[in-house]
């Protein structure tokens, strides 16, 4: 049986970001008791939490990520436990798991 796993992370204040990017800042700007509704402001870098770079990020391709089909984000794959490895290298044990045209997720912590 195929199992789908949602890799989305919750967007929250001070969530991890790509090294060097600005920190995520989520704060409340309207309050129910004062403004009659709640609202928040979010300042976030593109490389925060769960994200996918579109081809235009590093190529001349002009397609936005929103134009990609949902099916292109569903794939078979495996998880490689690479915790405590300062440099990730291919190991014999990974060769049985990593297959062509499949996704490999790296468990770093």
3-state secondary structure 71-99: HHHCCCEEEEECCCCCCCCCCHHHHCCCC
Residue among 45, 42, 53 at smallest CA distance from 16 = 45
- Whole-structure pTM value: 0.57
Q: What is the count of structural domains for the chain?
A: 2
Q: Is residue 59 part of a domain?
A: no
- Say if residues 83 and 108 touch (Cβ distance below 8 Å): yes
Over 70: is that where the pLDDT of 104 sits?
A: yes
Q: Is residue 103 part of a domain?
A: yes
Q: Is residue 6 part of a domain?
A: no
**pLDDT tens column, 26-60:** 999 999 999 999 999 999 988 888 878 888 888 99
* pLDDT at 65 (0 to 100): 86
Strand ranges (DSSP E) for the chain? 25-30, 39-43, 77-81, 103-107
Q: Is residue 4 part of a domain?
A: no
Quick one: what percent of the chain has pLDDT higher than 70?
A: 99
Q: Is residue 58 part of a domain?
A: no
**What range defines the domain where residue 94 resides?**
69-109
Over 80: is that where the pLDDT of 2 sits?
A: no
Residues 77 and 109 placed together within one structural domain of the fold: yes
Q: Is residue 32 part of a domain?
A: yes
Residues 73 and 42 placed together within one structural domain of the fold: no
């Amino acid at each position: 049986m195929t199992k789908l796993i949602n890799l989305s992370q919750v967007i929250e204040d001070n969530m991890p970001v790509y090294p060097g990017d600005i920190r995520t800042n989520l704060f409340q700007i309207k309050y129910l008791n004062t403004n009659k509704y709640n609202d928040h402001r979010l300042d976030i870098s593109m490389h925060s939490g769960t994200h996918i770079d579109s081809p235009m990020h590093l190529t001349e391709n002009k397609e936005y990520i929103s134009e990609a089909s949902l099916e292109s984000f569903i794939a078979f794959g495996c998880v490689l436990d690479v915790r405590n490895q300062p440099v990730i290298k291919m190991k014999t044990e990974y060769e049985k798991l990593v297959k062509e045209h499949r996704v490999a997720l790296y468990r770093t912590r």
